[in-house]
């Protein structure tokens, strides 16, 4: 076996992706004494653009050769891939080279997120606790199954569907409608070639993310996000309206169970298939009365979970990501700020439905100026850009992630909300109740 590449003292990094998660990663990478040049494939995000230089090529699965050649010429040592889509398309395989490493799993390893039926089969073989479910590749057999079962269920497109492919159904009629949308109307395109019907689990949802270098698994502090758009967890699902880390709903003992019963057997089962997972393995778990069960795996950092994680992470992110990609994760120290981080997402009016772009954004400096010796406010950009007049404007549904770091969740949430009040753009809205699942429970 060849010796792992040591992390260079000056590491030139190319970051693929342009959302809030990538701004948070770039923000933390910039704090590393090892960072040489930081290049960006998606510099239209105004927050990201301030931190790096634009790479002349976007990631394009049909033309990875050009990007790889550009990396050669510009001495790129490490490529960090943020989103799942390029990973599922094989970006890590296409861009890795003897001279540079890629942070993010190979195409086959990314199937754990991109192909839910693959993930389900893997979990079944390795006896990993998950919802009981069945995979279907024909609408007729799925319909017969639904007609024969009258319990609440979740109907899921097997492929990538931008977080919208899981439909929670309380009645048979809803399940038949979900089947129709996925397999007949093909709302999610090819992602609906196969479909999963699984039992509906109840409990608190937790995001446990781990860095995995093929063998070593390093669990990060658990986080929780709020997917639904409305206060009190109501209304349609979004990419995520806010997240906090750590969460007390998963105690140290349960986290150890998750390590033993979920992460270790998953990484082992992948290895038995000849697949070495290197990158972030993210388990979306439901804490059921029968113990934690896996809802889904992702092969990348969560968005917005990444924002509070990066706000708390201590240590050198270049070295941490490098060691994960090099297979030397054992040798690095990863620590977290003991304070709690809470991220509240400011959105465009109308999101997750249609919304207008180009609204002038003001007040970010005032929001960050709320930082003091007890609390810190960090504003990460998700959907922003600079317009023709050089002004900062909205450019997406999720516009900004306002993260506050404070002594406890209540203080962090209050500070993030106060910071959000300082920021203005037409139609802006956010959820004021991020963390209530924990805060209300503690008060009860």
Interaction site with ligand GLY (CB under 6 A): 163, 225, 240, 298, 302-303, 305
From the list ligand GLY, ligand AMP, none, partner contacted by residue 319 (C-beta under 5 to 8 A by kind) = none
Q: Which CB atom, from 132 or from 356, has the smaller least distance to ligand AMP? A: 132
From 347, 438, 431, 430, select the one nearest 384 (Cα to Cα): 347
Q: What residues numbered 102-121 form the site for ligand AMP, per CB under 6 A?
A: none
Confirm or reject binding of residue 205 to ligand AMP (CB under 6 A): yes
CB within 8 Å of 273: residues ≥ 6 apart:
122
Smallest separation (angstroms) from ligand GLY to the CB of 23: 14
From the list ligand GLY, ligand AMP, none, partner contacted by residue 240 (C-beta under 5 to 8 A by kind) = ligand GLY
Cα gap 38→24, rounded to integer Å: 14
Figure out which of the listed residues 20, 43, 86, 284 binds ligand AMP, where binding follows CB under 6 A: 284
Measured from each CB, the residue nearest to ligand AMP is: 166
Confirm or reject binding of residue 296 to ligand AMP (CB under 6 A): yes
Q: What residues numbered 345-374 form the site for ligand AMP, per CB under 6 A?
A: none
Q: What residues numbered 170-199 form the site for ligand AMP, per CB under 6 A?
A: 198
Confirm or reject binding of residue 200 to ligand AMP (CB under 6 A): yes
Contact 361, 424 (CB under 8 A): yes
Figure out which of the listed residues 227, 380, 398, 431 binds ligand AMP, where binding follows CB under 6 A: 227
From the list ligand AMP, ligand GLY, none, partner contacted by residue 225 (C-beta under 5 to 8 A by kind) = ligand GLY
From the list ligand AMP, ligand GLY, none, partner contacted by residue 154 (C-beta under 5 to 8 A by kind) = ligand AMP
Site string for ligand AMP, 129-168 (x = CB under 6 A): --x----------------------x-x---------x-x
Cα gap 188→281, rounded to integer Å: 24
Figure out which of the listed residues 175, 281, 295, 329 binds ligand AMP, where binding follows CB under 6 A: 295
From the list ligand GLY, ligand AMP, none, partner contacted by residue 201 (C-beta under 5 to 8 A by kind) = ligand AMP
Smallest separation (angstroms) from ligand GLY to the CB of 302: 3
Smallest separation (angstroms) from ligand AMP to the CB of 205: 6
Q: Which CB atom, from 89 or from 303, has the smaller least distance to ligand GLY? A: 303
Q: Which CB atom, from 28 or from 300, has the smaller least distance to ligand GLY? A: 300
Site size toward ligand AMP (CB under 6 A) is 13
| Phi-psi domain of 189 (left: phi exceeds 0; alpha: psi -120 through 50; beta: other) | left
Footprint of ligand AMP (CB under 6 A):
131, 154, 156, 166, 168, 198, 200-201, 205, 227, 284, 295-296
């Amino acid at each position: 076996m060849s010796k792992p590449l040591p992390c260079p003292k000056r590491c030139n990094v190319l970051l693929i992706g342009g959302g809030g998660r990538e701004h948070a990663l770039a923000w933390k990478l910039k704090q590393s004494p090892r960072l040489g040049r930081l290049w960006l494939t998606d510099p239209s995000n105004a927050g990201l653009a301030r931190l790096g230089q634009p790479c002349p090529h976007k990631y394009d699965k049909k033309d990875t050769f050009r990007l790889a050649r550009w990396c050669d010429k510009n001495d790129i040592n490490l490529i960090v891939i943020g989103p799942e889509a390029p990973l599922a398309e094989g970006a890590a395989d296409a861009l890795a080279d003897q001279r540079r490493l890629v942070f993010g799993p190979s195409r086959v390893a990314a199937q754990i997120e991109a192909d839910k039926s693959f993930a389900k089969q893997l979990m079944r073989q390795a006896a990993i606790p998950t919802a009981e479910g069945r995979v279907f590749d024909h609408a007729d057999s799925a319909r017969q199954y639904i007609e024969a079962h009258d319990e609440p269920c979740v109907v899921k497109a097997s492929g990538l569907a931008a977080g919208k492919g899981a439909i929670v159904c309380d009645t048979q009629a809803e399940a038949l409608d979900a089947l129709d949308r996925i397999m007949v109307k093909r709302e999610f395109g090819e992602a609906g070639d196969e479909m999963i019907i699984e039992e509906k689990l109840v409990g608190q949802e937790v995001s446990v993310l781990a860095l995995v270098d093929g063998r070593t698994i390093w669990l990060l502090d658990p986080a929780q996000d709020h997917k639904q758009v409305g206060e009190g967890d109501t209304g349609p699902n979004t990419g995520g309206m806010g997240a906090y880390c750590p969460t007390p709903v998963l105690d140290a003992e349960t986290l150890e169970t998750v390590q033993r019963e979920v992460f270790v057997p998953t990484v082992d089962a992948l290895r038995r298939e000849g697949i070495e997972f290197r990158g972030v393995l993210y388990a979306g778990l439901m804490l059921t009365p029968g113990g934690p069960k896996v809802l889904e795996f992702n092969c990348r950092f969560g968005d917005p979970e990444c924002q509070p994680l990066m706000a708390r992470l201590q240590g050198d992110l270049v070295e941490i990501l490098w060691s994960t990609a090099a297979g030397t994760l054992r040798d690095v120290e990863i620590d977290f700020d003991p304070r709690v981080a809470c991220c509240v997402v400011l959105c465009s009016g109308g999101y997750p439905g249609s919304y207008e772009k180009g609204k002038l954004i003001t007040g970010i400096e005032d929001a960050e100026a709320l930082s003091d010796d007890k609390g810190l406010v960090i504003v990460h950009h998700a959907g922003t850009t600079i317009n023709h007049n050089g002004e900062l404007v909205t450019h997406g549904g999720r516009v900004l992630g306002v993260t506050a770091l404070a002594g406890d969740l209540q203080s962090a949430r209050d500070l993030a909300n106060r910071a959000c009040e300082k920021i203005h753009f037409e139609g802006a809205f956010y959820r004021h109740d991020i963390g209530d699942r924990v805060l209300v429970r503690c008060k009860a």
